[in-house]
Amino acid sequence: MESAELIAIIREVRDRVRARNPETSAGASIALPDTMPLVHARDAALGKVAAIGTVNPRQGGIVNSLVQGWKKFVARVLDWHVREQVEFNRRVLSCVDATAEALNDNNRALVELAGRIETIRQVSEELKDIRNHWAEWRMEWERKLAHNEMQFLRSVAELEGSFQHRVTTMDTNYRDNLRGQHAEFMAAMERHGTEIQQRLWADMERIRGEYERVIYSELRMIRQRAMLQPQPPLPDGRGSVAAPKQQELGFDYGRFAERFRGTEEYVKAEQAFYEPYFRGRQNVLDLGCGRGEFLERMRSIGVGARGIDLGEESIALCRAKGLEAEEADLFEYLGNLPEASLGGIFCSQVVEHIPVERLPEMIKLAASRLERNGVIAIETPNPECLAIFATHFYLDPTHQRPVPHPLLAFYLEEFGVGNIEVRRLSPAVESMPSLRSLPEDFREAFFGGLDYAVIGKKL
């Protein structure tokens, strides 16, 4: 069988299937015209057309052969007569095929149309549902719209109220802060004004004190000059003329101490070192009390103390401060005191003024007047510090000679003072920064403290 005939047969079978069940090919659900009778009629006509020119079969034999031969002869003879009829029949069959194909196409179109109509129907059903529920939906929508509008307006009102409350709170806080800052500013101004006024009065008081000290110094110089003027000799009891009493120094030693030793505040701050040694003791004696810095320090910690000095001006200054002080020579004063009558002795920048031969006597007297466990503290320039000879020691013309601390400690031990402690004070590097360039061990050995203190207790 040729391939063309096979393809034709397959197409015929496909067309028959489509014509018989067109709804299965497109999924249509409507009734379509049935084209199968037309197909059957076409097939029957094709069969007849195919049988034209054939001879009916008979049983074999001579008669059959003659009959068949005669029929074939007649068919060949009549072929020119039936040729047009055969052609016409074939054309009619082609028309039937075209009609069947057109009907199949029409069925397919109807199936597609039915699908679209079904889609439209479903959409119309949905629209019908929407139309039926539109009124309900609209009422619900309007209700929700009104509810949302109320909620929105309520939220706007709440926000406006919150904003107004926040603005009011911020304004109140701002006013409170402004009032607080104004009050603080006024208080600070008043406080600073009071401080300025206090500083002004303090400065005026200090200026007044300095002015009075200047006047006092000038008056002192005038008195000294008056004392230095020669006076006429007075006759004594034996008829001779006694020589006038001469002043030992030709200058104001108080003014000298103010310039070269330091101010009272400086000396008082330096002497805070001795407070722990004398705290809790009574009947403390300051030998050479000067302007009374140590006595003021003892009074501030509740220690009963008194002082002696050879300077009349120093004693007057101490008494003006309300301190107990008197003008006396320390040898005579100590000699007149009972033994073991003092709880402590303080002697600052004095022993270097005492002649060398009388220093043991002074240490012996001081040690004998201390009670048991009584404290003695002696401060003097430190000869181990070479800087003391280049700066401070020889500024004072009343200095006799420096006293090394081993010698002073020996005198104290010799006369019954033990627990000897040596403390170096006033580092030279603080007043002479150039000493920092020296090696530390060398600086400590030869340029340590400008002063030293020897502290001990009566055994």
Burial group, residue 347, by CB count within 10 angstroms (0-12, 13-18, 19+): buried
Secondary structure of residue 73 in the 3-state scheme: helix
How far apart (Å, rounded) are the C-alpha atoms in residues 95 and 332? Answer: 172
Domain ranges of the chain: 3-139, 263-458
Count of other CB atoms within 10 angstroms of residue 398: 10
Find tokens 């409170």 and name the residue.
176
Cα-based distances in Å from 451 to 121, 331, 340, 347, 424: 123, 24, 29, 13, 6
Which single residue is written with the structure tokens 């500083």?
199
* Amino acid 360: pLDDT: 92
Q: Which residues of 91-106 are buried (b: 16+ CB within 10 A; e: fewer)?
A: eebeebbeebeebbee
User: Distance between CA 293 and CA 348 in Å, rounded?
Assistant: 11
Enumerate the β-bridge partners of residue 375: 344, 457
Q: Record the tokens describing residue 297, joined without a space.
A: 């320090």
> Which residues on neighbouring strands pair with residue 379, listed in sequence order?
348, 453
Residue 234's pLDDT is 40
User: Taking the mean position of all CA atoms in its chain, how far away is CA 243?
Assistant: 83
Per-residue pLDDT at 33: 66
**pLDDT in single tens digits along all 459 residues of the chain:** 456 777 777 777 766 666 555 555 544 455 666 667 777 777 777 666 666 555 555 566 777 778 777 877 777 777 766 777 777 777 777 887 788 778 777 877 877 887 788 888 888 777 777 777 778 888 888 889 999 999 999 999 999 999 999 999 999 999 999 999 999 999 988 888 888 988 888 888 888 767 766 776 676 567 555 654 554 444 444 333 333 333 455 555 555 665 556 677 888 888 888 999 999 898 999 998 888 899 999 999 999 899 999 888 888 888 988 899 999 998 999 999 999 889 999 999 899 888 889 999 999 999 999 999 899 999 999 888 877 776 777 667 777 888 998 999 989 988 888 888 999 888 877 777 777 788 877 777 777 788 899 999 988
Find all residues with CB under 8 Å of 353, minimum gap 6, and list them. Answer: 288, 398, 399, 400
H-run or E-run covering 284: strand 284-287
How many other CB atoms are found less than 10 A from the CB of residue 144? 10
**What angle in degrees, to the nearest 10, is found between the helix axes of 3-20 and 79-228?**
70
What is the pTM for the complete model shown?
0.47
- Asked if residues 320 and 346 have their Cβ atoms less than 8 Å apart, the reply is no
pLDDT at position 456? 92
Coil, helix or strand at residue 106: helix
Report how far residue 291's alpha carbon sits from residue 258's, in angstroms, rounded to the nearest whole number.
9
Question: Can you say whether residue 82 is alpha, beta or left, with left for phi > 0 and alpha for psi between -120 and 50 degrees?
Answer: alpha
Residues 400 and 353 sit within 8 Å (Cβ to Cβ):
yes
pLDDT at position 268 is 84
> Which pLDDT score, from 0 to 100, does residue 246 have?
35
Angle between helices 79-228 and 36-51 (to 10 degrees): 140
Kindly provide the residue ranges of all beta strands, DSSP E only, lying in 87-244, ordered along the sequence. 234-235, 241-242
Q: What tokens were used for 426? A: 């006033």
Continuous segment of H or E residues that includes residue 61: none
Q: Which CATH topology does 263-458 take? A: Rossmann fold (3.40.50)
Query: In the prediction, which pLDDT does 287 show?
Result: 92
User: So what's the pLDDT on residue 21?
Assistant: 57
H helix runs in 31-78, sequence order: 36-51, 62-77
